[in-house]
Chain A
Amino acid sequence: MSRKLTLDELESKAYDIRMDLIRMLETAGSGHSAGPLGLADIFTALYFDIMKYDPKKPDWEERDIFLLSNGHCVPIQYVTMAYAGFFDKSELKTLRKFGSRLQGHPERLKLPGLENTSGPLGCGLSQAAGMALAMRMNQQHHRWIYVGMSDGEQDEGNVWEAAMLAAKYKLNNIIAITDRNNIQIDGPTEQVMPLGDLKAKWESFGWHVIEIDGNNIEAVIDACAMGRAVVEKPIMIVAYTVPGKGVPFMEYDFHWHGAPPGGIQPPGSPDKKQQAKIALHDLRTLQGKIRSEHE
């Protein structure tokens, strides 16, 4: 890859990616908004700083692996992959359309660069564990597996089965990132099924846990660097994000979990026909960038 981008450049990239994400979802007419908007900074960091890959050789045997466990958030992956050069941005408008490579939930066999087929929740981490075990057998100790997970999917038992296995076999080349945005389809996670203290849970399962502000690109990069230095344990980054991040009328509102701009009319939101336009207009720039508001 070419030179690394500066932090300012990465933040501008995340902003552009959010713009295209909003346009793509509006064109598709269905799909998830809140999670993908909240994840833009993590995906920008992964694809433009952290991971080793070649978009022209998606099967390159030395590449790092990214597995999306919560397949419904794939819109943000598609936009980031287009920016990273896996395919032309013009293809983004085909999302969820008949014949498109950009399926509503990711299908590995449709689009080179996707590492797994995903949608039903709770299976990404165990696939990562299988990959890590195979890499160990193959003496590939220099490849990293990043797993994008949601907080809501941790209701699934399969997640904790995988957690135990990865700790047992000390799969320290797995770096999982939980999008801790506190929403799921039926409402706030702590009402639907309280997850409680995720840091304590994962630590008690034998993982090295790092908590970060997941809308701060620098924090994402630093946490992954820290994670790669850990031996003996798999790594869980609990990334606190704001669902709908950047679009004021979507932020923190669980109604936007499974709907695109123009798709629904939650209380207090703009008129449906105007939602995408207002979202693009109001997308917070903070000096031209999406930056953590905790700074």
Chain B
Amino acid sequence: MANFYLIPDLLAKDIKQEATRKGFGRGLKKAGELDEQVVAACADLTESTNMSLFAETFPERFIEIGVAEQNLVTVGSGLAAMGKIPFVSSYAAFSPGRNWEQIRTTICLNERPVKIVGSHAGVSVGPDGATHQMLEDIALMRVLPHMVVIVPGDSVEAEKATLALATDKKNPGYLRLARADSPVFTTDKTPFEIGKAYVFDPGTDVTIISTGNLTYQALIAAEKLFKDGIDAEVIHCPTIKPLDAATILASVKKTGAVVTVEEAQVAGGLGGAIAELLSEEHPTPLVRIGMKDRFGESGKPEELLEHFGLTAKHIAMATHHVLGKK
């Protein structure tokens, strides 16, 4: 693989595994050190969302809200009104799952730069089951004017995304995080900028556009496909809104076929966003991998990813499928 951005050996057996929420925890502490206006609030999940690192370092800038997600984001709105950059965290099923209207009115319409951090998104939450496996959050956040939506690919990128969100004093943001460990495949040198998608593996036959930690699976799928004689281009798309239409369209015009990959409902998710872009700008055969109008269930993360068709094998199969539609 001709890619200088990423770790040298994606297939290494001892590849580091770490959840994106850990990177967020480190990033928030750093953001707090860089800017004293950065503050944080949590709805009784401080350890679990990894906000604890910030809370221990800056106790006077941390607010424990209790199990009250509507209050979490509206208090965030008030903090931002006084010049703070608030990060407010909970599980994605509860925030933005429960408090969407408060986010819409008091944050988006009111133009307050609150950063909503939803951890434990996707089926890889595992044993907790369907109630806690948030799948609709991308759709909910993507339709809100002004809202930036980011799904980091690994813990290193999650740290960078947190720091980037902290310096955006204008827009509200949503940071989607995962509970489970996943391969760390980017490095300190891998570029990250809000609103940019990155070609992590160049190719000519098909474009695989992926977000979140499934991008690792997309990269593995591309290696498999290469052995089958298919040269896939893998685009990592951590920012779902604003979507990097230029990078995506340039690739699609070259390859003429697209697979999207995400651990969320494809309706309204990355798959939805790409379908909207392509049907308006450059109609192209498309197959979307993700959750198709159904809920998750209890199990081990790897069992669930296999069961719901979210692995490298499934991405490779979908690629063969879409090439047949070319």
Q: Show the binding face of A for B, using Cβ within 8 Å.
A: 107-109, 115-120, 122-123, 126-135, 137-138, 157-158, 161-162, 164-165, 169
Contact = CB atoms under 8 A, between A and B. Distances in A.
B70 A120 contact: no
Contacts of B195: none
B110 interface: yes
A2 B82 CA distance: 27
Contacts of B102: 120, 123, 158
B242 interface: no
Contact of A123 (B39, B65, B84, B105): B105
Nearest to B71: A161
25 contacts: A109-B110, A116-B106, A117-B106, A117-B110, A120-B101, A120-B102, A120-B105, A123-B102, A127-B81, A129-B71, A130-B75, A130-B82, A130-B86, A131-B81, A133-B78, A134-B83, A137-B84, A158-B70, A158-B71, A158-B74, A161-B66, A161-B68, A161-B71, A162-B75, A164-B68
Contacts of B75: 126-127, 129-130, 133, 162, 165
Nearest to A118: B105
B60 interface: yes
Contacts of A116: 77, 81, 106, 110
B110 A135 contact: no
B314 interface: no
A130 B105 contact: no
Given A108-B110, A131-B81, A117 B71 contact: no
B84 A162 contact: no
B61 interface: yes
A148 to B, nearest CB: 15
Contacts of B71: 126, 129, 158, 161-162, 165
A118 B109 CA distance: 9
B111 interface: yes
Contacts of A123: 70, 74, 77, 102, 105-106
A119 B81 CA distance: 18
B63 interface: yes
A160 to B, nearest CB: 9
A130 B79 CA distance: 4
Given A116-B110, A127-B106, A137 B61 contact: yes
B153 interface: no
Nearest to B86: A130
A118 B83 CA distance: 19
A144 to B, nearest CB: 14
A138 B74 CA distance: 19
Contacts of B80: 130
B96 interface: no
A234 B272 CA distance: 46
Nearest to A132: B78
Given A109-B111, A134-B83, A137-B60, A127 B70 contact: no
Contacts of B66: 161, 164-165
Nearest to B109: A117
A116 to B, nearest CB: 6
A127 B109 CA distance: 14
A130 B70 contact: no
B238 interface: no
B202 to A, nearest CB: 43
A137 B87 CA distance: 16
B126 interface: no
A7 to B, nearest CB: 33
A134 B106 CA distance: 16
Contacts of A117: 105-106, 109-110
A137 B81 contact: no
A115 B106 CA distance: 11
A65 to B, nearest CB: 8
Contacts of A119: 105
Contacts of B77: 116, 123, 126-127, 130
B76 interface: yes
B145 to A, nearest CB: 12
Contacts of B111: 108-109
B70 A126 contact: yes
Contacts of B65: 161, 165
B151 to A, nearest CB: 27
A91 B96 CA distance: 38
Nearest to A71: B105
Chain A CB within 10 Å — which of B75, B84, B105 has the most? B75
Nearest to A169: B63
B35 to A, nearest CB: 13
Contacts of A107: 109
Contacts of B79: 130-131, 133-134
B68 A130 contact: no
Given A108-B110, A126-B77, A135-B82, 7 more contacts: A120-B105, A126-B71, A127-B78, A129-B71, A130-B80, A130-B81, A165-B66
Nearest to A138: B82
Contacts of A164: 66, 68
Contacts of A115: 81
Chain B CB within 10 Å — which of A120, A130, A162 has the most? A130
Interface in B89-112: 101-102, 105-106, 109-111
Nearest to B102: A123
A104 to B, nearest CB: 13
A138 B76 CA distance: 16
Given A137-B61, A157-B70, A165-B68, A130 B78 contact: yes
